[in-house]
């Protein structure tokens, strides 16, 4: 296999094309996944902002029932894993899941430790840093974002919160990644099929071209040389050979014809030489 | 006079025998060198696989990325490293195929292992090794696979040619004609 012309032509081409295609697909997949993940974070962040803006009036009016209803309704939406609001002490005050209410949040948990790793908690984080990805107890992949609820002038002027308090609480919203994972799985399958198709096309195309333009003409030339060696009358070179092979075939024909023309003279001269001696 | 010419002829024959012997030895040395050189690509590929195993364990013997980035500064983003990897893979394959076409003997395999290890390290310090591990692995296997094949075919052709030359020297006692 390695010694044949086909092997020598196809192995490096196949290896290089397949390898490069695989690397391209892996890098492209990585780019697409990062883009989708970034888009998902932006989407979750916008949703968190929407929830905060919709609950703002209820918070100002201290309308806990309306606030709880909004949180429950948002949490009941398809694709939303959890929605909860916890106060500065880390106690869940509102949640779509009523079991969580009044529970203490672990400050060392993933998503909390980012702000609470120092003695004083960090109050400003970028959107990307506010996000975390984990698997919920049901085994589903979840992307969650925590949005701080800041103390604003109308909050502190209502005599509910002192003006010195910067963060009043945190909204934690988690979105299911099932749809994203399904899309990524589909993309992986499509890329594998695409790579295989490109590989088959490349190998097939190179093989077909080599066979048509190189291997078959070489085979015809070889048959011509082998058959002419056995025959006394030299046949004409095969027609329609590629230019390079045609030169070889014609050259072979000319050499063989010249040799056949000179052969009797040589034999005579050898006979004469033998007679003389 | 006749004695002198016979002496000269035997001296010529001895000299020619010595020349043929030294040529044969030289060709044998070249065959041995090519035999040793032919496994260079496979050795580089094996070394790369060892680096891949270390990368799979996330270079547990290295300091944490945070410590290194605190010292050296922020690493380039994963996207930039991936573009560099793609360009490097493309260039390395083109270079290797060009060397294969030109029949050039080039000992580049181990330098590729070093470049690929650097890519692994950049991803590690940029905390994106897990996502991009298979891209570097695929790139390494492709580049070193093509390089191994190039080196192996180059050596196989060289060994065949040298064996033919030895046969020619054995048959004629003269050095083979230059191509």
CA-CA distance, A40 to A38, in Å (whole number)? 5
pLDDT at position B83, please? 93
Predicted complex ipTM: 0.76
Domain ranges of chain B: 2-172
**Would you place residue A270 in the very low, low, confident or very high pLDDT band (cuts 50, 70, 90)?**
very low
Pick A8-183's CATH classification: 3.30.470.20, 3.30.450.20, 3.40.190.10, 3.40.50.720.
3.30.450.20
> Would you state the structure tokens that stand for residue A66, as one six-digit string?
């309306």
**Quick one: closest CA in B to A24, which residue?**
B86
pLDDT tens-digit readout, A23-68? 999 999 999 988 998 888 888 888 888 888 888 888 877 788 888 8
Query: Average pLDDT of A142-157?
Result: 79
> Is there a contact between A19 and B132 if contact means CB atoms under 8 Å apart?
no
Three-class SS state of A277? coil
| Residue of B86, B135, B146 lying closest to A16 (CB–CB) | B146
pLDDT at position A213, please? 81
CA-CA distance, A21 to A201, in Å (whole number)? 13
> Is there a contact between B139 and A23 if contact means CB atoms under 8 Å apart?
yes
CA-CA distance, A125 to A106, in Å (whole number)? 19
pLDDT tens-digit readout, A231-248? 777 788 888 888 888 898
Q: In Å, how far are A66, B79, B84 from A155, measured between CA atoms?
A: 18, 43, 51
Would you say residue B3 has pLDDT above 90?
A: no
Assess contact for A158 and A58: CB atoms under 8 A: no
β pairing state of A131-135 and A167-176:
unpaired
Percentage above 70 pLDDT, chain A: 81
A8 chain-B contacts, CB cut-off 8 A: 153
Instruction: State whether residue A26 sits within 8 Å of chain B by CB.
Output: yes
Of B90, B85, B87, which Cα lies nearest the Cα of B129?
A: B85
> Is there a contact between B134 and A26 if contact means CB atoms under 8 Å apart?
yes
> Would you state the structure tokens that stand for residue A270, as one six-digit string?
């050898």
Instruction: Please tell me the least confidently modeled range out of A261-275, B71-85, B92-106.
Output: A261-275
Return the residue in A3, A19, A133 with the most chain B beta carbons within 10 A, the one to mutate for interface testing.
Answer: A19
Contacts of B111 (CB under 8 A, 6+ apart): none
**Would you place residue A277 in the very low, low, confident or very high pLDDT band (cuts 50, 70, 90)?**
very low
| Residue of B96, B97, B138 lying closest to A26 (CB–CB) | B138
A22 chain-B contacts, CB cut-off 8 A: 138, 142
pLDDT tens-digit readout, B36-51? 888 888 999 999 999 9
**Quick one: closest CA in A to B154, which residue?**
A8
Question: In chain B, which among 122-151 make CB contacts under 8 A with chain A?
Answer: 131-132, 134-135, 138-139, 141-143, 145-146, 149-150
Three-class SS state of A4? coil
pLDDT tens-digit readout, A82-130? 888 888 777 888 888 888 888 877 766 665 666 666 666 665 655 556 7
> Is there a contact between A27 and B90 if contact means CB atoms under 8 Å apart?
no
pLDDT tens-digit readout, B110-164? 899 999 999 999 999 998 898 899 999 999 999 999 999 999 888 988 898 889 8
């Amino acid at each position: 296999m390695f010694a044949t012309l086909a092997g020598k032509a196809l192995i490096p081409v196949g290896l290089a094309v397949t390898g490069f295609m695989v690397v391209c697909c892996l890098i492209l997949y990585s780019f697409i996944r990062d883009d989708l993940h970034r888009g998902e974070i932006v989407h979750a962040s916008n949703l968190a902002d929407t929830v905060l803006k919709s609950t703002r009036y209820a918070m100002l009016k201290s309308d806990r029932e309306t606030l709880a209803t909004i949180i429950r309704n948002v949490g009941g939406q398809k694709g939303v894993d959890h929605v909860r609001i916890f106060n500065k002490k880390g106690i869940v005050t509102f949640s779509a899941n009523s079991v969580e209410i009044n529970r203490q949040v672990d400050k060392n948990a993933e998503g909390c430790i980012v702000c609470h790793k120092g003695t004083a908690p960090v109050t400003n984080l970028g959107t990307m840093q506010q996000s975390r990805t984990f698997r919920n107890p049901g085994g589903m992949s979840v992307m969650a974002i925590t949005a701080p609820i800041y103390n604003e002038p109308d909050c502190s002027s209502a005599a509910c919160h002192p003006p010195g308090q910067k963060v009043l609480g945190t909204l934690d919203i988690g979105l299911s990644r099932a749809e994203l994972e399904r899309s990524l799985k589909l993309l992986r399958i499509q890329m594998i099929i695409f790579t295989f198709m490109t590989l088959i096309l490349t190998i097939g195309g190179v093989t077909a071209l080599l066979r048509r333009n190189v291997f078959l003409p070489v085979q015809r030339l070889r048959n011509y040389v082998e058959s002419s060696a056995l025959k006394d009358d030299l046949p004409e070179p095969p027609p329609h050979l590629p230019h390079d092979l045609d030169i070889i075939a014609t050259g072979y024909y000319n050499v063989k014809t010249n040799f056949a023309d000179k052969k009797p003279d040589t034999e005579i001269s050898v006979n004469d030489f033998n007679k003389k001696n | 006079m006749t004695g002198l010419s016979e002496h000269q002829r035997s001296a010529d024959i001895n000299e020619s025998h010595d020349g043929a012997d030294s040529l044969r030895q030289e060709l044998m040395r070249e065959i041995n060198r090519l035999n040793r050189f032919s496994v260079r690509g496979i050795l580089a590929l094996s070394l790369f696989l060892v680096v891949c195993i270390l990368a799979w364990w996330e270079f547990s013997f290295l300091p944490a990325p945070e410590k290194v980035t605190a010292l050296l500064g922020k690493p380039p983003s994963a996207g930039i490293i991936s573009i560099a990897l793609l360009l490097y893979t493309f260039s390395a394959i083109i270079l290797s195929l060009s060397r294969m076409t030109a029949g050039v003997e080039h000992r580049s395999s181990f330098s590729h292992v070093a470049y690929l290890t650097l890519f692994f390290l950049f991803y590690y310090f940029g905390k994106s090794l897990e996502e991009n591990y298979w891209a570097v692995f695929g790139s390494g296997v492709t580049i070193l696979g093509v390089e191994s094949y190039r080196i192996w075919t180059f050596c196989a052709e060289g060994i065949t040619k040298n064996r033919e030359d030895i046969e020619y020297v054995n048959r004629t006692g003269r050095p083979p004609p230059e191509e």
